[in-house]
Structure 1
Amino acid sequence: MLLIHCPYCNESLPELEFTYASEAHIARPANPSETTDEEWAEYLFMRSNTKGLLYERWRHFHGCGRFFNAVRDTVSDKFLTTYEAGAPRPDLSSLTERLK
């Protein structure tokens, strides 16, 4: 079982408490009604699918209900850190030491 740390509740809880909400730090269209179908499809469906460290958005669905960001290793499925939505991205070079 994966434990995910909610930075708002300050608790590490089972993954069943949370829902995945896509990649983090994606530029979202300011006005979706003014985008072309191709631009909208690109925003909705195209992701980097990175092997290794990835910035992600999660929601504490069965808890506080708030969205937060996480850095997760997609190879080992290990969460390296979580941080509040709107906070700057943590430096990946400092986080890679935790994988060793």
Structure 2
Amino acid sequence: MLLIACPYCGERDETEFHYGGQAHVAHPADPEALTDAEWAEYLFVRANPKGPFAERWSHAAGCRRWFNVLRDTATHQILAVYPAGQPKPVIA
């Protein structure tokens, strides 16, 4: 079981949170200009790395705010937690 440190409420059990997918996915500047294939790629194609990965999470059973988690997908170790809108931290 994961313990996730909500940047607003502190450390809580993972059952209080909802996963929101990959973080830092930029919205297309002109969505009307995208082809169907480009739109499908924006909606459905995401990275699936083995190792550090930036994810969006919502504290659904707490403050209900969105934030980002940098998590190692191989070990499930949480490397960093930071508010939405901030850049991904550099991990050595």
What TM-score do you get using the length of structure 1 for normalisation? Answer: 0.83
Identity %: 53
| Higher helix fraction (1 or 2) | 1
- The residue aligned with 2:77 is 78
User: Paired residues, what number?
Assistant: 92
Q: Which residues of structure 1 form unaligned runs of 5+?
A: 94-100
- The residue aligned with 1:5 is 5
Amino acid at match of 2:6: C
The reply on whether 1:58 has 2:28 as its aligned counterpart is: no
Aligned with 2:41: secondary structure? helix
What TM-score do you get using the length of structure 2 for normalisation? Answer: 0.90
Aligned with 2:38: secondary structure? helix
Q: How much does 1:33 deviate?
A: 4.3
Q: Which residues of structure 2 form unaligned runs of 5+?
A: none
- The residue aligned with 2:67 is 68
Rounded to whole Å, the distance in 2 between the matches of 1:32 and 1:60 is: 29
The reply on whether 1:29 has 2:21 as its aligned counterpart is: no
Query: Once superposed, what is the RMSD of the aligned Cα atoms?
Result: 1.3
Q: How much does 1:35 deviate?
A: 2.7
Q: How much does 1:20 deviate?
A: 0.8
